[in-house]
């Protein structure tokens, strides 16, 4: 199984339940959806690809590398701040634009949350 990093907690529980019920083990790989798509397109074997962006599995299906895609979950973008950094909904944008604040995102062009902020 290849899956978006944002699905790690939920799908780890699913994998454990599946393994307990069916026996055997599931090889799970989590990471940016775009990079996982590239691996699968390049020949990596994946029984399941749970992407955070419907375009990635769609492109695999269109190229004959996967079956049809099914929407099964939705994500919501959130922001996390270090302790002591005063951030509210009203001040978030200003904090993100503050040159004194170090901002980290996911992998641009490979992970949907990395695409929200211009690079």
Q: 55: domain range?
A: 2-62
Region 45-69 average pLDDT: 92
Task: Find the Cα–Cα–Cα–Cα dihedral 81, 86, 88, 92, rounded to 10°.
Answer: -70
Q: Average the pLDDT over each of 45-54, 63-72, 103-112 and give the range with the smallest value.
A: 103-112
Q: What is the pLDDT of residue 94?
A: 93
Confidence at 115, pLDDT banded by 50, 70, 90: low
pTM above 0.85, yes or no: no
pLDDT in tens, 2-42: 998 888 988 999 999 999 999 999 999 999 888 999 999 99
**Count: domains in the chain:** 1
- Residue 29: CATH number of its domain: 3.40.190.10
Instruction: Tell me if 30 is assigned to some domain.
Output: yes
Three-state SS annotation for the chain: CEEEHHHHHHHHHHHHHHHHHHCCCCCCEEECHHHHHHHHHCCCCCCCEECCCCHHHHHHHHCCCCCCCCCCCCCCCCCCCCCCCCCCCCCHHHHHHCCCCCCCCCCCCCCHHHHCCCC
The length of the chain in residues reads 119
Confidence at 75, pLDDT banded by 50, 70, 90: low
Instruction: Tell me if 36 is assigned to some domain.
Output: yes
Confidence at 103, pLDDT banded by 50, 70, 90: confident
Token digits of residue 93: 């944008």
Instruction: Tell me if 80 is assigned to some domain.
Output: no
Confidence at 117, pLDDT banded by 50, 70, 90: very low
């Amino acid at each position: 199984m290849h899956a978006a990093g944002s699905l790690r907690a939920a799908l780890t529980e699913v994998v454990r339940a599946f393994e307990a019920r069916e026996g055997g083990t599931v090889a799970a790989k989590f990471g940016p959806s775009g990079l996982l798509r590239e691996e699968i397109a390049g020949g990596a074997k994946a029984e399941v690809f749970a992407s955070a962006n419907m375009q990635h599995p769609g492109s695999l299906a269109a190229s004959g590398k996967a079956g049809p895609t099914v929407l099964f979950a939705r994500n919501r973008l959130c922001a996390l701040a270090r302790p002591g950094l005063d951030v509210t909904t009203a001040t978030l944008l200003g904090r993100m634009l503050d040159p004194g604040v170090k901002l980290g995102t996911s992998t641009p062009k490979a992970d949907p949350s990395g695409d929200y902020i211009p690079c």
